[in-house]
Amino acid sequence: MTKTNGANPLPSSLFSLGEGGGAGAVAQAFPGATPDEIFAAIGAWMVQQKQGTHDENVAAEADRLRVREDAKLLLAAEQSADGTPRVPLKERLLSVAGLSTLGAVEPLIRGVIYRDTLAQLSGAPGSYKSFITCGMAGALTTGMSNWEGHRIPRRAKVVYVAAEGASGLRARFIAWCELAGVDPIELEDWLYVLPCPIQLGNLVDVTEAVDLVKEIEADLLILDTRARCTIGLEENSATEQGRAIHAAETIQAAAGCTVLSVHHSSRAGTAGRGSNSWDGAVWSDLRLEGSELIAKIHVEKHKDVPAGMDYHFKLIEHVVSSANMPEASEDQRHTLVVVGNDGMSAGGVGTNLLAVEKNAARIVDIMRTNSTADGLSGATLRDLSVEDGIKRTPYHNALKLLQERGTLRNIGSAKRTHFVLAPVDLNGGDDN
């Protein structure tokens, strides 16, 4: 007869040693064994006893950690995204008049992306998606008044999630600064790069992302790309992508932070690849086409502001100065920068005279509406034109046309321009 300890049986007579069995009990337990063999057997049994205790402790600790994680999930379900106690649905009801307390949506970049919303930018591989988002981030974080003619009401903090790699981003951001005439130091404490994905299907990642955007008070979180941030979630499944959307909305709600998802388009067009759940969920749906250094954003959807327009861009090759990247070779400093291209034809090869004429007419209207008897300074006219939606290059093309025709006269200097309207119409005919 044997007593057992887990999977390691020993003769029952051995246990009688602790019950006064003495040497006789040992002999009965190990008949014919030498003392060394007896001690070896007992030692092996004790090691197995210790291992059994260790395994039990590991299992108990794993159970404790699982209980802790389940408790976190339960607590999260009972709380809102910002950690405050859940408010019952009945108490959230609003009357029509009460809707005014929600406030109107505010632009991050007017006509492009808006504060405290979910947005997506989709396009084929190689269509310059990352160059577009780098330009947006640069303009927002350096306090520019506009991004390629699109007004920026106030400076914003940006977290750029470089899920596909961050190695080329430094050159892109510094190149943008050099072309914009901005010191790259202006990016510090406003633009942050996370060189790894935030997995929207992972509770720990989402919880840390919520803490991150709250702590630095981020205004915009760029996920580049969505595919790399949804690993393990079936791209064509509305249910699984719904989980990712909910996670993005949780991050958004935590700090009123816009979440811009950069995604590859399907082979059939510019719509995002996979489930169309994102198309319905986002506030802004931007579709990008780009090749041969020409790009176009089509605004497929804004929920509560005008949509359906196209924004045209071109990409300029630029080599970052060695002073700003002393450790890098010329090849490493060579990159592209996105600039506005509304003054170009659809093929990107010549000036679109009709667009110039339209912008010239808008500038004349701005002068008639806003100028005093002394006219307007060049800086004021430029800012008013940009605020009206005329981008930088189209503005200068139209201004040049108006001066050539004599419609606008510069009564200032070449460096400090000051314009007045002359009695000449856009067709060059005298009013007299």
pLDDT digit string, tens, across residues 28-79? 666 777 777 777 777 777 777 676 677 777 788 888 877 777 676 666 555 5
**Which residues share a beta bridge with 119?**
260, 284
pLDDT the model gives residue 202: 92
Q: Is residue 91 part of a domain?
A: no
Show which of 285, 308, 340 is a domain's final residue: 340
Nearest to 106 by CA among 154, 160, 64, 163: 154
Q: Do both 326 and 372 map to the same domain?
A: no
- Whether 375 and 411 have beta carbons less than 8 Å apart is answered as yes
Q: Do both 315 and 402 map to the same domain?
A: no
Q: Is residue 10 part of a domain?
A: no
Vertex 109 angle, CA 368 and 231, to 5°: 160
Q: The tokens of 253 are what?
A: 């709600």
Q: Do both 230 and 370 map to the same domain?
A: no
* Long-range contacts formed by 414-419: CB under 8 A, 24+ apart: 416/377, 416/378, 417/377, 417/378, 418/374, 418/375, 418/376, 418/377, 418/378, 419/367, 419/371, 419/375, 419/376, 419/377, 419/378, 419/381
The overall average pLDDT reported for the chain is: 82
**Pair type for strands 294-302 and 334-340:** unpaired
Q: Do both 369 and 222 map to the same domain?
A: no
Task: For residues 17 and 13, give the distance between their C-alpha atoms in angstroms, rounded to a whole number.
Answer: 7
Structure confidence at residue 390 as a pLDDT band (50, 70, 90): confident
Q: The tokens of 376 are what?
A: 């307007």
Structure confidence at residue 132 as a pLDDT band (50, 70, 90): very high
Q: Return the amino acid letter for 48.
A: Q
Q: Do both 196 and 289 map to the same domain?
A: yes
Q: The tokens of 278 are what?
A: 């994102």
b/e burial code for range 179-204 (CB count within 10 A of at least 16 → b): ebebebebbeebbbbbeebbbbbbee
Q: Which of 21-35, 127-141, 383-397 has the lowest mean pLDDT?
A: 21-35
Across the range 194-210, mean pLDDT stands at: 94
Whether omega before 380 lies within 30 degrees of 0, making that bond cis, reads no
Show which of 300, 316, 340 is a domain's final residue: 340
* Total residues found in the chain within this entry: 432
Structure confidence at residue 24 as a pLDDT band (50, 70, 90): low
pLDDT the model gives residue 19: 47
Q: Do both 327 and 393 map to the same domain?
A: no
Q: Return the amino acid letter for 37.
A: E
Q: Do both 291 and 360 map to the same domain?
A: no
Q: Is residue 65 part of a domain?
A: no
pLDDT the model gives residue 26: 56
Q: What DSSP assignment string belongs to 127-193?
A: S-HHHHHHHHHHHHHTT-SEETTEE--S---EEEEETT--TTHHHHHHHHHHHHT--GGGGTTTEEE
Vertex 240 angle, CA 247 and 194, to 5°: 40
Q: Is residue 42 part of a domain?
A: no
Q: Do both 114 and 144 map to the same domain?
A: yes
Q: Is residue 297 part of a domain?
A: yes
Structural domain for 372, as ranges: 353-421
Nearest to 226 by CA among 123, 132, 325: 123
Q: Do both 359 and 320 map to the same domain?
A: no
Looking at residue 365, which CATH number applies to its domain?
Answer: 1.10.10.10
The arrangement of strands across the sheet holding 294-302 comes to 191-194, 158-162, 220-224, 258-264, 118-123, 284-291, 294-302, 310-319, 334-340
Nearest to 286 by CA among 144, 108, 139, 159: 108
Q: Do both 269 and 365 map to the same domain?
A: no
Q: Is residue 223 part of a domain?
A: yes
Looking at residue 332, which CATH number applies to its domain?
Answer: 3.40.50.300
Q: Is residue 37 part of a domain?
A: no
Q: What percent of the chain has pLDDT over 70?
A: 81
Q: Given 3-state DSSP classes, what are the helix, strand and coil percentages for the chain, each rounded to the nearest 5?
A: 45, 20, 35
Segment holding 89, helix H or strand E: helix 89-92
Q: Is residue 273 part of a domain?
A: yes
Q: Do both 333 and 402 map to the same domain?
A: no
Nearest to 418 by CA among 363, 369, 378: 378
Domain total in the chain: 2
Show which of 287, 311, 340 is a domain's final residue: 340
Q: Do both 414 and 306 map to the same domain?
A: no
For the segment 229-270, what is each residue's pLDDT rounded down to a tens digit? 999 998 899 999 999 999 999 999 988 999 999 998 865 566
